[in-house]
Amino acid sequence: MVQTPPRVLTVAGSDSGGGAGIQADLKTMLAHGVHGMSVIAAVTAQNSLGVQGYWELPAEAVRAQFRSVVDDIGVQAIKTGMLASPNLVAVVAALLAEVSVPVVIDPVASSKHGDTLLANEALETLRTRLLPVATVVTPNLYEVELLTGHKVRERADMRGAAEAVLAFGSRWALVKGGHLEGEAADLLFDGTHEYWFTSPRHDNRHTHGTGCTLASAIASRLALGDTVPDAVAAAKEYVTGAIRAGFPLGEGIGPVDHAWRWRQGF
């Protein structure tokens, strides 16, 4: 008898180059055996060289997409990415407050090329409205500094950064230390329990979409029934393999390979 797989919803921006955003989220969800669904909050003109422009969707379009999916199909986990403006952040936060499933918040502030994807005036709304509904929030070090003012210069600073993020109300903070020297170390913290996840660095510049991919993998594993630490461990293993297998695309930074496990058997 055919069984319906767990359903995971991404609320994020579209990446026309296919390496990050909604496209990366859905590829990651497929790779984890869950059914991916989407609410498109913004559309970007984007390629391997950067973001040439982005346009938010109206709040009513975002709200209608969310209600359409959740009310009929149902959902076992939700992941958010690029939300761009204070209005969209507030709209999505209100929608998430009405559901009782794990929520993974990727507080996307810029692209891999440094292009701004979150208006400065949206930061306070993100802190006060979106983070309090998060099961897990997954900031990189740049996003930690934007949100909290806490600058991480070395691994020893990451515990304080996680505490600063948790102060906004999420249940877990996953502080990603990929921009520090040495092995890639991420810290997962809930205010009491501390988990470190490390992986070797791979000499590969094609890393577009890593943050989206990691957050979507965590959401997928949570939908499959993992605990938060187990979900992060599995997601870290997946994204490390995807980074190792990242490939050139266009003239700039290529994407991680969401299908690396499949391609190994080809």
Give the C-alpha separation, 39 to 37, whole Å. 7
Active site residues: 176, 207, 209-212
The answer to whether 47 touches 250, Cβ cutoff 8 Å, is yes
Give the C-alpha separation, 83 to 237, whole Å. 27
Write the Ramachandran bin of 250: left for phi over 0, alpha for psi from -120 to 50, otherwise beta.
left
Q: Which residue, among 59, 77, 23, has the nearest Cα to 249 in the 3D structure?
A: 23
Give the C-alpha separation, 185 to 196, whole Å. 7
The answer to whether 175 touches 161, Cβ cutoff 8 Å, is yes
Give the C-alpha separation, 162 to 183, whole Å. 19
